[in-house]
Amino acid sequence: MGEACHHHHHDGPPTAADVERALGDADARLTAEGERMTAARLRVLELLLAAGEPVKAYDLIARFGTDGQPAKPPTVYRALEFLERKGLAHRIASISAYVACSSGTIDHSAAFLICDCCGATEEVAAPVAEGLDRAARAAGYAIVRTTVEAHGRCPACLAA
């Protein structure tokens, strides 16, 4: 983050019921697609959902074990790769972190608004991706995935 944030945000992490509901929805969707929600995938998604904000991979590794032991990095990275591929998580490259997908659909372009003051991150619709898609098709390319990251200040930081 660019500078210290001297105010408090009132958005907290999701409730346990919200996390459980999202995990159930994800599991049902994967089952319908013929995929398995392994224990490792479930745990990583649970950690992302419970955080309610972007989380660095090594923080996921440290929090992974329910017995206090960290996971082996390949376990977490494989789970993250699967969750990304299935549209359940996104990697935000500019801050080297992962976040649970708020839309839960595979075929959408992700756009993130990232506050450089407090780190708040919000997933929003990405109409710019449609124009990029048209330009890519005109050039003979086929875009598989688009992630747009925009840095600035959130409403709370602007008001502070």
**Pairing relationship of beta strands 110-115 and 147-152 according to DSSP bridges:** parallel
Does residue 99 come out as left (phi exceeding 0), alpha (psi in the -120 to 50 range) or beta?
A: beta
84 C-beta neighbours (distance < 10 Å), count: 16
Query: What pLDDT shows up at residue 82?
Result: 96
Q: Which residues are annotated as a binding site for Fe cation?
A: 130
Q: How far is 119 from 5, CA to CA, in rounded Å?
A: 9
Nearest to 107 by CA among 145, 141, 76: 145
Query: What class, spelled out in words, does domain 16-159 have in CATH?
Result: mainly alpha
Over 60: is that where the pLDDT of 4 sits? Answer: no
User: Could you tell me the pLDDT band of residue 143, with boundaries at 50, 70 and 90?
Assistant: confident
**Residue 90 burial (CB < 10 Å; 0-12/13-18/19+)?**
buried
- Side-chain half-sphere of 50: how many Cα atoms within 13 Å? 12
- Could you tell me if 110 and 100 are in contact, meaning their C-beta atoms sit under 8 angstroms apart? no
Number of CB atoms found within 10 A of residue 143's CB: 12
Binding site residues for Zn(2+), as ranges?
115, 118, 154, 157
Asked whether the predicted pLDDT for residue 1 surpasses 90, the reply is no
Residue 38 pLDDT grade (very low, low, confident, very high; cuts 50, 70, 90): very high
**Chain mean pLDDT for the chain:** 87
Domain ranges in the chain?
16-159
The answer to whether 127 touches 10, Cβ cutoff 8 Å, is: no
* Predicted local confidence at residue 32, as pLDDT: 94
Query: What 3-state class would DSSP assign to 150?
Result: strand
Residues flagged as binding site: 115, 118, 130, 154, 157
Record the tokens describing residue 116, joined without a space.
């450089």
Structure confidence at residue 10 (pLDDT): 47
